[in-house]
Amino acid sequence: MEKHYILIPPPVSFPAQPTSTLSTATSHIVFSSTTTATETPPSLSCQLDAAPQPSAQNTPTTAAIAASASLNSELLHTLRTTSDAPLALSHITTHIAILKDEIAAQQTALNALTARVDEQFRLHKALRDSVGRKWGSRLTNTRRKFEARARAAEESYTAGVQGRSRAQGRLESLAQELAESLAEQTALRATADRHASAHARIDDLYAAIFDGPTPGFPAEDAAEQSYLRSRRRHEDSTARVASCVRVVRLLKQAAVRLQRARNHMVQAKAEGAAGLVLVLSGAYEDLRRSEHFGALVLVAVERAVEGLQPLDGELRELRRAVVKGVHAAVVEKKSVASRLDLLEKIAASEKSFDSAKGALDNLIKTAKEREMAARTGVRFTAGLLEEARQALQQVRQEAFEMVVGFGAAPPAYHECCNRAESFEHVEVEVDGLELEMPDMDGQGQEGDDGGREPASDVSG
């Protein structure tokens, strides 16, 4: 009996089935060329050699990967097919903004052309239809001059009409282009939304599978730890920016309140100089309000200084100058002996306010410089965080390929959307930053300055 041997590749098994193995051995198929009455028909027999399993098999992570393989493939396909949408949407949005500006400018130009053409038409019609002018030109022997003027008016009107027609055509063309761009923007926005949704879903999927220790995937664990370190570093940077922003806002509020304190002092001087009776002039009320706003300045400065820690020698000196100037600017009612004494004390108080303002301005300048330095740091750590995130995403995609991709090499990783810019955004809570003025003996709330200069907006 003649026998023929044929080599076939080994059968393929999936990691989700613990009983199956992946063998690299060859199988032998034996065919019999002759049969007897007692022999069975030609049969196929396979002999597989056992092979050791990869360490990533038979773990909860591999089971989760296998269960999510279809969803992962679907999301990656969506990301690939919609990857151009976000950038295209940004471009078309910019183009639409430019078109709207051009349409507005073109409409303005068309309105001016229409007004000029209407004026040219009135002149042309007057010269064309005026019988009196025609007879007058004949009687005065100025017919040629009149006809030349009428001809020039007609030509000017004709040119104006043509220019207006071109402008109208340009406006209609721009409007048509805008309508088409808006329709394209709507379609791109829907595609970009699908793209963003796929990103969010794949992030949630990978987080559910891989967050935390993943036995059998040491590269993923290492990439995840690197990402977490980058994230903590970036969070520290954003916290510094938020602190600097609060400091600047507080110091700006302090500057507003310092100005209001000085305004009340100036008003007190005016009241004291003009009033017949000092006690009834209202000067003492302005002195009290000035002292109150000065106290609010000190509160804001102290809160701001807490965010500027550690303080160097220059910052400590500036803080000391502000506090000293505000304290020196206070004029107490009991210290005033006469009208002349009041005016002298107020003059000295104004100088103290000016000194405090100079120190406070320098303090604000230093705080802004620290904020800019902190924002530069955030841009740097945001870049590092995005690099770590992309590296982690690549390792997790490779894990899917190695588990459910039959051991094939993973495809080249490409991140379609860089998130570094979004990581640079820093949200700052504004609650508690406003220093509201309490009731002053029933005299009203902050801002009740009797019609004098209001506080400026320092919301930042």
Domain total in the chain: 3
In a domain, 87, yes or no: yes
Q: Are 62 and 56 in contact (CB under 8 A)?
A: yes
In a domain, 164, yes or no: yes
Q: What is the pLDDT of residues 88-136, one digit of tens each?
A: 999 999 999 999 999 999 999 999 989 888 887 877 676 666 655 666 6
In a domain, 59, yes or no: no
In a domain, 389, yes or no: yes
- Residue predicted with more confidence, 173 or 13: 173
- Are residues 194 and 223 located together in one domain of the fold? no
Cα–Cα separations (whole angstroms), residue 334 to 102, 226, 293, 344, 384:
68, 66, 19, 15, 62
Dihedral sign from CA coordinates of 401, 402, 408, 411: positive
As beta bridge partners, residue 5 has 30
- Are residues 315 and 179 located together in one domain of the fold? no
Tell me the C-alpha distance between 355 and 352, whole Å: 5
Q: Domain end: 210, 245, 274, which one?
A: 210
Q: What pLDDT does residue 446 have?
A: 46
Q: What is the pLDDT of residues 19-31, one digit of tens each?
A: 333 333 333 333 3
- Are residues 172 and 269 located together in one domain of the fold? no
- Are residues 139 and 245 located together in one domain of the fold? no
User: What tokens does 301 get?
Assistant: 């400065």
Q: What is the pLDDT of residues 18-68, one digit of tens each?
A: 433 333 333 333 333 444 444 444 433 333 333 333 445 578 889 999 999
Q: Are 250 and 304 in contact (CB under 8 A)?
A: yes
Q: What pLDDT does residue 383 have?
A: 94
Q: What is the dihedral of CA 213, 214, 216, 218, to 10 degrees?
A: -60
In a domain, 314, yes or no: yes
- Cα end-to-end span (Å), the chain: 96
Q: What is the pLDDT of residues 224-270, one digit of tens each?
A: 999 999 999 999 999 999 989 999 999 999 999 999 999 998 888 88
In a domain, 443, yes or no: no
In a domain, 256, yes or no: yes
Tell me the C-alpha distance between 287 and 282, whole Å: 9
- Are residues 48 and 181 located together in one domain of the fold? no
Q: Domain end: 159, 183, 210, which one?
A: 210
As beta bridge partners, residue 4 has 31
pTM beyond 0.85: no
The CATH number that applies at residue 415 is 1.20.120
- Are residues 233 and 159 located together in one domain of the fold? no
Q: Domain end: 169, 187, 210, which one?
A: 210
- Are residues 250 and 336 located together in one domain of the fold? yes
Tell me the C-alpha distance between 381 and 421, whole Å: 11
- Are residues 172 and 240 located together in one domain of the fold? no
- Are residues 111 and 29 located together in one domain of the fold? no
Q: What is the pLDDT of residues 341-374, one digit of tens each?
A: 788 888 888 899 999 999 999 999 999 999 999 9
- Are residues 350 and 249 located together in one domain of the fold? yes
Q: What is the pLDDT of residues 267-319, one digit of tens each?
A: 888 877 776 556 556 778 888 898 899 999 999 998 988 888 777 778 888 88
The CATH number that applies at residue 142 is 1.10.287
- Are residues 176 and 228 located together in one domain of the fold? no
Stated length of the chain = 460
Whether pLDDT at 182 is above 90: yes
Identify the domain containing residue 325 by its residue range. 218-423
In a domain, 63, yes or no: no
Average pLDDT of every residue of the chain: 78
Farthest-apart Cα atoms in the chain, separation: 142
- Are residues 398 and 262 located together in one domain of the fold? yes
Per cent of the chain over pLDDT 70 is: 72
82 contact partners, CB below 8 Å, separation of at least 6 = 191, 192, 194, 195, 198
Average pLDDT over residues 311-335: 84
